[in-house]
Amino acid sequence: MNYTLHQLQIFLKISELQSITKASEELHLTQPAVSIQLKNFQDQFPIPLTEVVGRRLFITDFGIEIAQAAEKILGQVQEINHKTVAYQGKLSGRLKISVVSTGKYVMPYFLSDFMKEHDGVELSMDVTNKTKVVRSLERNEVDFALVSVLPEKLQVYGVELMPNKLFYVSNYQRNFPKSFSKRHLFEKIPLIYREQGSATRNAMESFISHHHFTVNKKMELTSNEAVKQAVISGLGCSIMPLIGIKNALKNQELKIVPIRGLPIITNWNLIWLKSKNLSPAALAFLDYVSRNKENIIKEKFNWIKDF
C-alpha cells in the first residue's frame, strides 16, 4: 500500500461529512480533485470503503474502521509536528475556537498578532450559529467560544471583550411616513430573520414579543451576510448587529432607523468550560487577550462609540 497523508485527510473528511461535495468545500479543493483522491485511496483496498444508495454516499463498516485508523495516524503526525516545534523552543499546539456567525467580524482581530507571534500554533476556527457553538463547547470539542449571550446551562469562565449593538436597519432608499410607529415597522414592512438557533434572531424575537408586535410577513436567511444583502436589495428590514454593517452604512447602502428601545446591547464574551484543562497554546492566547484587549478595541473598534 502506498497511500498518502493527503488521501487520509480527504477520506477522513468525507467520512465525517458523508459527502464529497461538502468535503471539497471544507478542504478548499475542487470536487473532481476530491473524487480522484478518493478513488486512488479506494484502489488500494480490496474491500469497498464507500457505497452509494439512492444517490447518497455512505461509509461502509470497513470504511468506518479505516477512517478511525486515519484519525489516529493524522493525530500522531500532528503530535510529531508539535513536538518538533516545541523542541525548537517555540509555542506549539492547536487553538480551537467556535464563533457565532457575527463574531467573524470580531475574533480575527484578537487572533491576528497572536498567530504572527506564535507561528508554531495552528488555528481551527468554526463559524456557525449560537446553538452549534454552545454544543461544541459542551462536548469539549473546542478550547474557547465567542458568544454575545452567555449559555445558561454551562459552567464557564469568560473574558468580556466589547459591546454588541443591534439596530433596526433598512436599505438607504426606503422611504418612511413622516410620522410612523414601531408597530408600522414590524407589521407592515417584511422582516428578515436569521435562522433558528441564532443569537441575533433570539434578541429580535425577544424585542418583538416584549412589545407585543405581530409580524405579518417574514423571511428567514441563514447568515448575517445574506440578511444584509437582502435588506440592501429592498426585500425587507431587519434588526442587525452593528459590527457587520459598518461598510454598508458608510457606503449609504443601509441606514439605521431610530426606534425607542433600540439598540439592543449585549457583550461579546470569550468563554471556556470551568472544567477545561487548557493547553499551553490556549493559556498563552488567554493571557494575550487579557493583556491586549483594550488596545485592540481602541485601534480596531473605536468607531462603534459613534452609534
Give pLDDT tens digits for 257-290.
998 889 999 999 999 999 998 988 899 999 999 9
Q: What whole-number distance in Å separates Cα of residue 246 and Cα of residue 235?
A: 20
Residue ending a domain, among 70, 86, 102, is 86
pLDDT at 79: 74
pLDDT at 86: 59
Tally of domains within the chain: 3
pLDDT at 153: 86
pLDDT in tens, 212-249: 888 877 889 988 899 999 999 999 999 999 999 999 99
For residue 239, the domain's CATH number is 3.40.190.10
User: Are 13 and 103 part of one and the same domain?
Assistant: no
User: Are 79 and 225 part of one and the same domain?
Assistant: no
For residue 24, give every residue at least 6 positions away whose Cβ sits within 8 Å of its Cβ, in sequence order, or none.
Answer: 30, 31, 33, 34
Residue where the block lists cell 432608499:
173
Residue ending a domain, among 26, 57, 86, is 86
Residues of the chain above pLDDT 90, percent: 58
127 bridge partner residues:
99
pLDDT at 87: 54
User: Are 215 and 255 part of one and the same domain?
Assistant: yes
pLDDT at 82: 61
Which whole number is the average pLDDT over 44-61? 90
pLDDT at 218: 82
Q: Which domain holds residue 195?
A: 164-265
CA 131 to chain centre: 11
User: Are 150 and 15 part of one and the same domain?
Assistant: no
User: Are 151 and 234 part of one and the same domain?
Assistant: no
Residue 187 has pLDDT above 90, yes or no: no
User: Are 158 and 101 part of one and the same domain?
Assistant: yes
pLDDT at 149: 87
User: Are 133 and 145 part of one and the same domain?
Assistant: yes
Entry pTM: 0.70
User: Are 100 and 214 part of one and the same domain?
Assistant: no
User: Are 213 and 259 part of one and the same domain?
Assistant: yes
pLDDT in tens, 63-102: 999 999 988 888 888 777 766 655 555 677 889 999 998 9
